[in-house]
Amino acid sequence: MAEAQHFRDLTVGDFAERLASSEPVPGGGSASAIAAALGGSLVAMVAALSEGRPKYAEHEAMYGPTGAAGRALRDRLLALADEDAAAYGAFAAARKLPRETDAEREVRATAMRVAARAAAEAPLRCVEACRDVVAAAEALAGRSNVNASSDVAVAALLGEAGARGAAANVLINLPSVGDDPWAATTSARVEALLAETERLARSAREVVASGEPRPPLAAGEARPPLAARAG
């Protein structure tokens, strides 16, 4: 990565300028992760704006864990923006390896397969984290400060957009991995994650649009999303 600097340390303007350049990274994968990271921040914000307010006392138990999950997902996704860029950089480097002799071609082919798998795995982790951002936003919909209801919808939209973008980066790298069973399993995993993400995002939008309150989460539902707990 240029200047060995983490994307999270850049200003928004500097990141946007790098994204607009002819450099291969950052690209769509990093942009997807950062968009979803903003969704995680909005989840944390909505939880903070709802916590400790008597009007929402029946949902108080969810705000601490959900806010913590939003912050953890934000940090996870910012890290994934770097991971995605590094993985793609390695793949781009493998493509430039010499291929004049049979030995060189074999070395290059092996390096490309390894790099392509890493370049698919990084955005796959991003899709999982994006799903969890949307799940957290959906949990807050109808159970949080009504003055921040549009922020819940935006968090879900950003998470869904990030998931779709990251999924595209997974799928485009699968043909270069050279492992058809793994590619099929990974493709099915992406499809399932996207379907779940889209369902949750649709639910969040519909609840926000209705303006109707929802009952408290059941005890088993009041937990941080999976990626936040695993991160």
pLDDT higher than 50, residue 120: yes
pLDDT at residue 156 in the model: 98
Q: Nearest 5°: CA angle at 132, between 128 and 136?
A: 175
* Mean pLDDT of all residues in 125-138: 98
CATH code of the domain containing 147: 1.20.120.680
pLDDT higher than 60, residue 108: yes
- Give 148's DSSP letter: G
Percent of the chain residues past pLDDT 90, beyond the cut: 90
Q: Is residue 71 part of a domain?
A: yes
Tell me the C-alpha distance between 11 and 21, whole Å. Answer: 16
Q: Is residue 18 part of a domain?
A: no
Q: Which positions ≥6 away from 200 have C-beta within 8 Å? A: 131, 134, 135, 137, 138, 156
pLDDT at residue 223 in the model: 52
How many domains in the chain?
Answer: 1
SS3 at position 22: coil
Q: Is residue 49 part of a domain?
A: yes
pLDDT tens digit string along 187-207?
999 999 999 999 999 999 999
pLDDT at residue 5 in the model: 79
pLDDT higher than 80, residue 222: no
Q: Is residue 169 part of a domain?
A: yes
- Give 10's DSSP letter: S
Q: Is residue 31 part of a domain?
A: yes
Q: Is residue 114 part of a domain?
A: yes
pLDDT at residue 220 in the model: 64
Q: Is residue 216 part of a domain?
A: no
pLDDT at residue 24 in the model: 85
Residue 171, domain extent: 26-211
Least confident of 4-18, 69-83, 127-141: 4-18
Residue from 164, 150, 201 nearest 35 by CA: 164
* Mean pLDDT of all residues in 151-158: 98
- Give 216's DSSP letter: P
pLDDT tens digit string along 90-106?
999 999 999 999 999 99
pLDDT higher than 70, residue 147: yes
pLDDT tens digit string along 22-69?
988 899 999 999 999 999 999 999 999 999 999 999 999 999 999 999
Q: How confident is the model at residue 8 (pLDDT cuts 50, 70, 90)?
A: very high
